[in-house]
């Protein structure tokens, strides 16, 4: 058991819920698949895997994010749209929706073999559920992954927690690690940060690509992928597509694609 630890289960956009979204490109990007997983295939999503780790590690606190999206009426909307529509009071934030879904479907966790065994060893479904209810907080103040991690580290600092386990998907975990390292540097508070990806993922055929700053004894280059692409991180979706098409055209025209 790691009682001096915390676990954060990162939120996932409610705009991808099959019950709320107007259109969904692929099943793998559905909220249900990413967050819950697939019991038939024994693929644990963010929530089942996070609960599995919480019952095994027994952390001081289990954090569920985020506040990036919410349910307003019969639709899911972004926080930005919520603000522009006058900040209606009757909304259910992403983290609260996730937590309520977890409690409502807690019995369904036993369909995952690893959780069925762990819940039994914990003392049964009622004892496991009570532990999760008692030790869980929802973070509805975060807008994005960066906010989630800064808020989680602030909670760790307040409680003098030295281990933070981050539950997300394989495609998202590298970004969580990068943000957490920066957050610890900014806050001046260091924990043992453990990226712990679950079994589900929203990426079907794309791999994570990371550009490292130049290392080694060679003279520093005037330009690098890091300082080029970092400047364009906040482009609009349409501008990002134009940028990527320009890059693709450059490589194809110079026959560099396979070099």
Q: Say if residue 193 is in the same domain as residue 218.
A: no
Residue 206 falls within a domain, yes or no? no
Which one has a higher pLDDT value, 258 or 197?
197
Residue 66 falls within a domain, yes or no? yes
Which residue(s) pair with 26 in the sheet? none
Q: Where is the domain boundary, 197, 225, 249?
A: 197
Range of the domain at 218: 211-259
Q: Is the pLDDT of residue 23 over 60?
A: no
Q: Is the pLDDT of residue 62 over 60?
A: yes
* pTM for this model (two decimals): 0.85
Spell out the residues 6+ positions from residue 199 whose beta carbon is closer than 8 angstroms to its own: 37, 42, 43, 44, 45, 49
Q: Specify the number of domains making up the chain.
A: 2
Residue 202 falls within a domain, yes or no? no
The share of the chain scoring above pLDDT 70, in percent, equals 92
Q: Say if residue 250 is in the same domain as residue 190.
A: no
Q: Say if residue 72 is in the same domain as residue 125.
A: yes
Residue 132 falls within a domain, yes or no? yes
Spell out the residues 6+ positions from residue 9 whose beta carbon is closer than 8 angstroms to its own: 46, 47, 50, 62, 63, 64, 65, 98, 167, 168
Q: Where is the domain boundary, 155, 172, 197?
A: 197
| pLDDT (mean) for 149-161 | 96
Q: Say if residue 130 is in the same domain as residue 224.
A: no
Kindly report the CATH number assigned to the domain that includes residue 153: 3.40.50.620
Q: Say if residue 23 is in the same domain as residue 87.
A: yes
Q: Say if residue 181 is in the same domain as residue 232.
A: no
pLDDT in tens, 76-122: 999 999 999 899 989 999 999 999 999 999 999 999 999 999 999 99
Q: Say if residue 173 is in the same domain as residue 237.
A: no
Q: Say if residue 75 is in the same domain as residue 131.
A: yes
Q: Say if residue 239 is in the same domain as residue 149.
A: no
Q: Please report which confidence band the pLDDT of residue 204 belongs to, taking 50, 70 and 90 as the band edges.
A: low
């Amino acid at each position: 058991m790691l009682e001096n630890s915390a676990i954060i289960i990162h939120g996932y956009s409610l705009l991808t819920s099959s019950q709320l979204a107007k259109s969904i490109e692929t099943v793998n990007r559905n909220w249900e698949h990413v967050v819950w997983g697939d019991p038939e295939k024994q693929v644990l999503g963010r929530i089942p895997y996070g609960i599995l780790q919480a019952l095994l590690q027994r952390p001081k606190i289990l954090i569920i994010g985020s506040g990036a999206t919410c349910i307003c009426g019969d639709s899911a909307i972004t926080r930005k749209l919520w603000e522009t529509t006058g900040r209606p009071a009757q909304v259910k934030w992403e983290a609260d929706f996730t937590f309520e879904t977890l409690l409502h479907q807690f019995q369904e966790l036993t369909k995952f073999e690893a959780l069925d065994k762990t819940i039994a060893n914990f003392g049964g479904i009622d004892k496991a559920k009570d532990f999760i209810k008692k030790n869980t907080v929802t973070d509805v103040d975060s807008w994005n992954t960066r906010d989630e991690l800064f808020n989680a580290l602030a909670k760790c600092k307040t409680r003098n927690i030295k281990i933070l386990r981050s539950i997300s998907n394989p495609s998202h975990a590298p970004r969580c690690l990068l943000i957490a390292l920066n957050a610890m540097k900014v806050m001046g508070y260091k924990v043992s940060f453990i990226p712990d990806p679950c079994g589900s993922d929203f990426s079907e055929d794309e791999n994570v690509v990371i550009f490292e700053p130049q290392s080694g004894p060679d003279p520093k280059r005037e330009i690098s992928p890091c300082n080029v692409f970092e400047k364009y991180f906040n482009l609009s979706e349409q501008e990002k597509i134009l940028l990527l098409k320009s890059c693709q055209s450059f490589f194809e025209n110079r026959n560099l694609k396979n070099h």
